[in-house]
Amino acid sequence: MRFIAPSLLSANFAHLADEIQLLNNSQADWIHLDIMDGQFVPNISFGLPIVKTVRKLTSKPLDVHLMIVHPENYIKAFAEAGADILTLHYEAVIHLHRTINQIKDEGLKAGVVLNPHTPISLLEDIIKELDLVLLMSVNPGFGGQKFIEQTYTKITKLRELALKNDHDLMIEVDGGVTLENAPKLFSAGADILVAGNTVFAADDPCRMIERLKKGDLERG
C-alpha cells in the first residue's frame, strides 16, 4: 500500500474550498486533519466546524488526528462531523483499550499515535485492536519541521510487532515527509505518508502527490 494523506494544516484557508477541490482532483488517498487544542501541543489549529465543512466538500476519507487532551470526550462528535479514521495519542489517553473501542463503536477506523520519544514496545498489548498506528517523525504541534531519522527504525520495529501478532496493521508516518525520504519510508514498511508543506508549497501539488506515491526523485 502506498497512500498519501495531504495535511490540510498547510493549505490556504482563505481558499479552503479550492484547496479541497485540488485534492479531489489529485491522487491523494486520504485528507489528513490535525486537531490541536493548545494544551497537548503548543499550537491551536481548527476543530469540528472545519471537519464538517471539509466533509461536505469531498468524498475522500478524512483522517482525523487528535492532538488534544481527553480525546475520549470528543469521539462521537468527530464521528458525526464526518471523520472516517480517528487517531489519538498514546500519551494523551489513560484508558486506551476502552477509548479504541469507543472509536470502533462509532464505525470508524481506530489508530494510536506515538510521539518520537515513545517506544513501540508499549503497543504490544493493544496492537491487535488497532487498524493503524501513526508514527510522528517530528515533535507534534507545528508543520515544516525537520524529519527525525530514528523513524525508519521505529517503522521496522512496528512492522515486526504486527507480524509477530499476525496482524494486518497500517503504518502511517507524519512529519517532514519529502520526495527524498518518501521512498525510504515506504521501503521501511510505511503504508501512508502525511505530507503538508511538501504538497501545498509545490508549484503543482497534484503532480507532487503523484511523485510522492511513486517515489519519483527526478526533477521536472
Measured in whole angstroms, the distance separating CA 176 from the mean position of its chain's CA atoms is 12
Q: Which of left, alpha, beta for 176 (phi over 0: left; psi -120 to 50: alpha)?
A: left
Which string of b and e fits 59-90 if b means at least 16 CB within 10 Å?
Answer: ebbbbbbbbbeebbebbeebbebbbbbbbbbb
> Active-site residue among 34, 37, 63, 191?
34
Give the start-end residues of each E strand in the chain. Answer: 3-6, 31-36, 62-67, 85-89, 109-114, 132-136, 170-174, 192-195
Asked if 84 is an active-site residue, the reply is no
Residues 6+ apart with CB under 8 A from 98: 72
> Active-site residue among 37, 63, 131, 174?
174
Please state the length of the chain: 220
Burial class (CB in 10 A: 0-12, 13-18, 19+), 18: exposed
Asked if 131 is an active-site residue, the reply is no
Active site residues: 34, 174
